[in-house]
Amino acid sequence: MSALPGVKALVFDVFGTVVDWRSGVARDARAFLVRHGRADIDPHAFADAWRRRYQPAMEEVRSGRRPFTRLDVLHRENLDAVLRDHGLDPAGIPAQELDWLNRAWHRLDPWPDTIPGLIRLRARHFLAPLSNGNILLLANMAKRAGIPWDAVLGAEVAQAYKPQPEAYIRTAEVLALAPSEMALVAAHNGDLAAARKAGLRTAFVLRPTEHGPDQTTDTRAEADWDVVAASFEDLAERLGC
């Protein structure tokens, strides 16, 4: 018996839910900063600073002040700003070096339970990302890490960034499903709230160290989501997979 009867597709938040973005970005930032003589900069703090610019950059698009712009471009612009904040001039760094660091977001590692859990979930459900990431980023990530998506859907598909309702509704339309036949799996209560408002079912998976050992956000389910699980393998168990 599944805790999500009638759900045909599981769609996933990716950054933080499927992959550990903080450790992956910090790993590549450390190598970059050492190469450029700034081993004094904490790479995890650098990753956090880069991530803090994520929502404001997307809000420019969500608000209509800027046309839809894929996340790779927003990340690259944010990288320049974070480098300047840390006393590094991006104009003095070779473009290929900056592009390499920007692609850190393509090289993120999955959480230990991600792949085994997805393999089990895929036996009974169609799986795809519902992420603010762009198609190339998500495809490169999946190819490197062996993430078994049935389709790679980036934000270009919806031409909208979560939590805009179009991000959820247009994904369901692309998959020829009613929103209620699709469930969002996410470690973020706000994402799930927006998905529920758009008519999707919801599954919360706890990721208590997404923001490091002192995380204070999303440390528990904050609503009566359809499913609350400790891991992807726990989710598979609850869905009868």
Domain ranges of the chain: 9-20+108-238, 21-106
Question: Residue 80 burial (CB < 10 Å; 0-12/13-18/19+)?
Answer: middle
Q: What angle do CA 173, 175, 181 make, to 5 degrees?
A: 85
**With 90 as the cut, is the pLDDT of residue 1 above it?**
no
Please state, in angstroms and as integers, the Cα–Cα distance from residue 35 to each residue in 70, 140, 208, following that order.
Answer: 28, 25, 32
**With 90 as the cut, is the pLDDT of residue 68 above it?**
yes
Mapped onto helix, strand or coil, the DSSP state of residue 169 is helix
Name the CATH topology of 21-106. Answer: DNA polymerase; domain 1 (1.10.150)
- Pick from 233, 182, 179, 239: nearest CA to 206: 233
pLDDT tens track for 171-207: 999 999 999 999 999 999 999 999 999 999 999 999 9
111 vs 118: CA distance, rounded Å: 11
Name the CATH topology of 9-20+108-238. Answer: Rossmann fold (3.40.50)
Task: Please tell me the pTM assigned to this model.
Answer: 0.96
